[in-house]
Each structure stands twice: as C-alpha cells, then as structure tokens.
Chains A and B, each alone.
Chain A
Amino acid sequence: MIDLRGVSRTVMSGTAPLTILHPLDLFVAAGQSLAITGPSGSGKSTLLGLIAGLDTPSSGRVAIDGVDITQLDEDRLARLRGEKIGFVFQFFHLIPSLTALENVLVPMEIAGRADAASRAASLIEEVGLTGRGHHYPSQLSGGEQQRVAIARALANDPPILLADEPTGNLDSANGAHVMGLLLDVNRARRTTLVLVTHDVGLASRLHTQLALKDGRPDPERSRLATAEPR
C-alpha cells in the first residue's frame, strides 16, 4: 500500500544544506497501522508529509497503491490525495470561513460525489457532533475541531489515513476519544493508518512502530513488519 525506497529530504538551512531525513526504506501493507515516534526534530512530520505527497523527497521514490507519486505534478498529487489519503493534523487546519459540515463536504465536492451532503451529515454524526455541523471552527473546542478534521479525512473513504500528532493539542479525555475514533477506523474500515506521535503508550496500540532519531531509524525502538517480498 505504502512503499518508500531510499527516501531522503534535505533542506537549505541558511546557506548550508541540512538533511532532516536520511535515506529510508519503509513498507506498510493495506489495513495495517504504523506509529512513527521520536523526539522533536527527528523527521517524523517530514516523513509523513513525504508519504502524503505534501512534500517532494530529495532522493528515492514513494509509491502509493503502486503509483510512484514522486513523478506526479501538483494537480495530480492533489487528486490522488483527494481519492486515497485522509490527513489529520495536530493543529486541526480547518478552513475558518466554513462551517464544520462544509469543511467535511469540501473533499467530496472536489471529487464530485453526488451523496456528499448526506454523507457529510452522517460523518458528523459518526464523530459525535450531531447538531454542531453549522458551527464555525472558532465556535468549537479543540477536541470538537479535531473530530471534524477526522470526519473530513474520512469523507472520500480513503484507503490511507495519515495523522500528525492528532492528540498533541488536546487534553487527555479528548485525546483518548480522538485516538479511539482513529483506531476504530483502522479496524472497522481496514483503513491503513500511519500516525505520528510522541506518546509511546499510544504507539504501542498500533501494529508496527518506526522510531526516528536525527532523521534515521532507531532499530532498537522500532518494531517493524517484514518488508513485502519484491
């Protein structure tokens, strides 16, 4: 499902190049879940961004469902994300000028789904926000905003769900609620889940773990499945 070969990322820090992710191979099979852990600045979010095609690797290739996304232009990448990848951010990133329901509607409208309205309503219900759909993000609590973000990520029923520290900005009760939702999705819908987190306890609830340190895998703390035979 997700297949990374020799993927690295180097950025310019001032005038000197800085490698934030060293060449890395990674495979996540369909329906599996992976936790990426590590301290701040270890390259977790960078790796997640590369998987989502939000960023371009400096070397290597990223394949999603057999498609090499490093060869796609911005618009085709956007279409691929719309169809195959749902994304949940630490800071929610809802569009402030749209209501909760409209935020959920957007990916389906882009994809041109006819059942967008009814599906958005049922997703809002599914994440426990019945009756709050017409509120603007500024009128919702952090936990509620993150649940809207999850509903939005699930809108097009994507086979992959990526989450960047989804509980990092929430209190423990809300965090647990959000985590429960994500794990449910992985189990019930067989959605591949890749999650970035600081929380080792949380990470242990997923099928596999990749620990990063200074942009490199830390084999001692990682617990990975065997790569798919090639």
Chain B
Amino acid sequence: MAKRIDVADLNIYYGETLAVQDVSMSIEPRSVTALIGPSGCGKSTFLRSLNRMHELIPKARVAGKVMVDGQDLYAPDVDPVAVRSQIGMVFQRPNPFPTMSIYDNVAAGIKLNAKRMRTSELDEIVERSLRQANLWDEVKDRLDKPGTGLSGGQQQRLCIARAIAVRPDVLLMDEPCSALDPISTQKIEDLITELKADYTIVIVTHNMQQAARVSDTTAFFNLRGIGQPGQLVEIGDTATIFSAPANKATEDYISGRFG
C-alpha cells in the first residue's frame, strides 16, 4: 500500500517567479522523511506539490516529474482529485469540519464523496482510523459530538484519523505539531512512528529536534540567496545529517548559526 516517491528535476513556479528549483530526491516506502530548512525556503511549497495542492493558488505551475510508484503525477491526463485520493495531507492548524460530528469528520473522505457504504463498514473504518490515530479511547463515547469540541491536540489527531480513513499511500504533514503543546506534540510524534509501518510519510518541520526524533531521512532546503528560489541542499540518513552533514550550509543550519 505505501508507495515510493521519486522526484526528478522539479521546478515550482508561481506565475513567472521560480519558487523552488531543481529538486530531485527519492522517498522510500514505509519511511518518514523530514523536510527542514529556514522559513520561506520552499519546503511547504514542495510538500504541496507532491499532492498537487499548490495548484489551488492561481497561476501556480510545475515543471519536472513526480513519480509515485512509477506513475507521473503531472502527466497531461492526470486528474488532481484522483491524485489526492491516494496522497493525503494534514495541515499546520487542525481544521475539523465545524458542522460535522467526530464520526462524520473521520468518515468525511468517504461520505463527502458519496461513496455508497453499509453503516457497519463505515463504523469499522471510523473505529480503525481513530484507533490508529490513538484517539479512539478518548472519543468513543461521544462520536456524535461536534468535531470542534476537542482540544487542539485531539483535533489534530482527528484530522490525522480523517486523512488515514481513506487509506492513502502517502501521508503528507505540513508542520503538524507547530500549533500544539509539548504533550500533544509527543503523542503525535509517537503516532507518526507507529504509522510508519503502513504509510509513506513526509513531514515538514521547523523543529530540528523533532526531525531528529521522528524521521529516517532528512532533507535540508535552503534559499540560494535573498529573493532567490529555494533548493534542496542535502538529503540523507537522519543520523548522518545531524552528526556529519556533507554541506557547510546544512551544518550551519543544524548548529543554529542561522535559520
């Protein structure tokens, strides 16, 4: 189920401006890859291009290839909606649907697409997703209460449950813990380590310690200069990147000399 991603010479443009330049990397299935780097260096832009969410911004376009298990996401006749059904996303601020109950939120990926399913099947999927997101015990008695009645950390785990309910091959996470307190953050980091067994996970994070704790592979992005596009500077095994990076800029960032 979890798939590998191969990015080849990806350039991301907003209109005529080049935002991210020449990114090439491979992401192994069933692994966690962390994208780190200073603000504005293109990590989130790159992440969003992996499930074609950057297209929501007018005039955003891409040159290059993103291959998921051999299929190019940017081939001419590819439907972005179909791409997103296989590559899910969790956002920085928890965004459960306010008009829906917890149950409906988790089932949203299925219900909103009007897929016909027996209630018992749906119940099973909701329970399984909430269990995988480590939220089942906390909400199993109030599945019909609104999704916004939970704490921030619980809401984020609800959003994760919502994303995994549709069994995507890849899970993209855009700074999922930056709006949360340390205890919720730890719960979600533990969750990521568990989810690794079934999903390919790519996580953008500003928190280098989090990247070190959670990921197998780390990719360091940086701007070439002020007003220049972002670039992939170095990618490698997390332990190596944090102890003996090959690139001077990586080392400077990791030791806090800038960023």
Tell whether A pairs with B.
Answer: no
